[in-house]
Structure 1
Amino acid sequence: MARTASKVQELVSEDAEMEDALEYLLDRADEGTVSWGDVSDELTSGQWGRLIEIGLLVDSDGEGFDVADPGGVRDALEDDDLELPDAPDGDSSWSKWDKMAAVGSVAMFAGYTFRSVREPLADTLNIALGPLLDLLPFFAVIMVLALFTGLYSTLLQSNLMDMEVMGAYQGRMKEIQERRKEAKERGDDEALERIQDEQMDAMADNLGMFKEQFRPMVWIMLLTIPVFLWMYAVVGFRGAPLYPGIDLGPMVMPIVGEVGWNEGLVGPLQAWIGWYFVCSMCFTQVIRKSLNIQTTPT
């Protein structure tokens, strides 16, 4: 029985349609010995040959073929573990609040171009962040902001992404790829064609995984873009700073040495942006480890 179940499991994992083919074969086998002509209307030649190759069909003294262990095959087919992983049922649709956050994030991007958007946002945020400039040097203010944005980014990713759904998507694609590799090694062109179609369907279903990944990003951008626009206004690297009375002072960076905040480090990357990203990446890793938060599926 265990050996038969293993064979059935292998067949079903290779070809999702083999489960129906086996059920049909068992029905015909109940009537006696079966031949290819008896089942050719439901089974493909590849499926028939595979059943013989794997030993589920055995020769019946030249008169046809018998199912080697019909009871074992039937029991194995009733095992729920034979089901192939379908597209995850988890709902990845966005709520109206998610959609509103996405619209707000896109609208805020206009602040990088238009002063009429940038300055009101910067002035509003300056009510809360302005006093920090009186207490801390600008490089420390950026560190505080990087810590803050790293904290809520990690929490949003942890709470808004369904890791089980994303893991199911990835597991499904991995299982299909493994079956495709095995079929290719056997030289089974029919199975390869079926798996190719299944892979194309799975790729279309993966839009759900993309939506799951992007959902927390719109909230992160909604909260982070105003912070960037405030730093943009303070530094003023595309013109005069919005608050010219603030003395930011230079920054001493490894390798580069002393640089102004609006000077380029690598190409168009400004010093303040580079410093923020370095701090953000470091703090985010520390936060994830400290809070034991996982933001990628296992």
Structure 2
Amino acid sequence: MARIEAKVRDLVSSDPEMRSAVETVLARSDDGEVRWVDVKGDITSGHWGRLIEKGVLVDGDEGFELADAEATRAGLEEASATAASPASSSSSTASSVDLDDEDSSWSMYDKMAGVVTVGLFAAYGWKPLRDIIGSAMDVVLGPLTELLPFYAVIMVIALATGLYSTLLQANLMNMEKMGAYQERMKDIQKRQKEAREAGDDEALDAIQEEQMEAMGDQLGMFKEQFRPMVWIMFITIPAFLWMYWAIGVGGNADPHVTMGNIVLPLVGSVEWTEGVLGPMQAWIIWYFLCSMGFTQIIRKSLNIDISPSAS
């Protein structure tokens, strides 16, 4: 198990005293299982807990057993080699970041929001549902059309969507884990290149096995990215459907608000439903221009960075 090797290597690299703890557990587990009472005089409870937390030790029949004794020994040897080669220390540590997909699991509410969001997409092509959602949203947004010109109403919607999109991404997406995913893949590729250049077939096989296991990290990375998107679409789609309903977009649709033309940069005065950039109509172009501008201002003002960062 290449992942066990990586975990052992990470534990020993981050805490030199862990080496003694791992060696003690290896020595006492010759019969298959080891209990806390067998080692409590030789290792600390903190080190024992770390081995269980990282999955190096797993439940046995009467105590605990090593998930993979050979991989644990190999991890100790790799840690020794890393310590002897300072140049590769930082990359080895980065590759052994504990990336558990369970931490990225969606909650029941996330899944419910995803199901509702998929249902909302149907409203784009089904007028009766679009009218129901548009009429419901008009209770909130309708008064704005009486106070502001329609282009300003879209600016308000763009400001609101930009604000909650930024906050949702900042709070629902683990940027450190995203950075760790990227760092691990970069490190695997670097070590694979070094092993290939050195002609070390044994190390190359081990790295390739680790690379195959790391493919599961891609799923975790996708889940991290898509979770806030579900909530963003859950809130944004009704606002878009209201604009569809208000402007009268689609077959047999009539506008429900009074609108004049809009003046767009480099385009001039156009109707709201006029195609400006290919099939993209003027109202969509105006919304995206406002949304992108407000989003950048919000991120700068709140000092929110949603780019992945390695821990």
Separation in 2, partners of 1:99, 1:242: 35
Match of 1:289 among 267, 289, 300: 300
**1:117-163 deviation per Cα after TM superposition (whole angstroms, max 9, x unaligned):** 11111101101111111111111111110000000000111111112
Which residue of structure 1 lines up, in the alignment, with residue 237 of structure 2? 225
- Distance in 2 separating the partners of 1:293 and 1:85: 28
Q: 2:267 maps to what in 1?
A: 256
Matches within 5 A, 1:1-298: 76=83, 84-89=95-100, 91-239=103-251, 241-244=253-256, 246-298=257-309
Q: What's the offset of the Cα at 1:194? A: 2.9
1:168-210 Cα distance to aligned partner (Å, 9 max, x none): 2122111112112222333434433332332222122221111
Q: Render the CA deviation track for 1:46-96: whole Å, top value 9, x for unaligned.
A: x9xxx9xxxxxxxxxxxxxxxxxxxx959959xx98765154136110110
Aligned to 1:203, the other structure's residue is in SS state helix
Shift of 1:243: 4.2
Alignment TM-score, normalising by the size of structure 2:
0.67
> Secondary structure in 1 aligned to 2:169?
helix
Specify the SS of the correspondent of 1:252: strand
Q: Distance in 1 between matches of 2:302 and 2:296?
A: 10
Distance in 2 (CA, whole Å) between partners of 1:121 and 1:93 is 30
Partner Cα separation in structure 1 for residue 203 and residue 120 of structure 2:
50
Output the CA distance in 1 between the equivalents of 2:165 and 2:143.
24
> Which residue number corresponds to residue 4 of structure 1?
none
- 1:32 corresponds to: none
- Secondary structure of the equivalent of 1:293? coil
Amino acid corresponding to residue 233 of structure 2 in structure 1: M
Q: Distance in 1 between matches of 2:266 and 2:185?
A: 44
Q: How many residues matched?
A: 233
Checking the alignment, whether the CA contact within 8 Å between 1:101 and 1:222 is kept in structure 2 is yes
Once residues 82 and 112 of structure 2 are traced to their aligned partners in structure 1, the CA distance between those partners, rounded to angstroms, is 52
Matched-pair contact (CA < 8 Å) for 1:149–1:224: yes
- What is the root-mean-square deviation of aligned Cα atoms in Å? 3.1
Aligned sequence identity (%): 58
**Separation in structure 1 between the aligned mates of residue 208 and residue 262 of structure 2, nearest angstrom:** 55
Does the 8 A contact of 1:157 with 1:216 survive in 2? yes
What letter corresponds to residue 127 of structure 1 in structure 2? V
CA distance in 1 between partners of 2:295 and 2:82 (Å): 51
Distance 2:98 2:187 in 1: 12
Question: 1:63 maps to which residue?
Answer: none
TM-score, normalized by length of structure 1?
Answer: 0.70
Distance (Å, rounded) in 1 between the aligned partners of 2:82 and 2:279: 66
Give me the whole-angstrom Cα distance separating, in 2, the residues matched to 1:189 and 1:266: 54
Distance 1:129 1:185, change over 3 A: same
Once the two structures are TM-superposed, the CA of residue 166 in structure 1 deviates from its matched residue by 1.6
Unaligned runs of 5+ in 1: 1-8, 14-18, 28-41, 52-71
CA distance in 2, matches of 1:153, 1:288: 10
Structure 2: runs of 5+ lacking an equivalent = 1-8, 14-18, 28-69
> Is this contact kept in 2: 1:87–1:172, CA < 8 A?
no
State the AA in 2 paired with 1:235. Answer: I
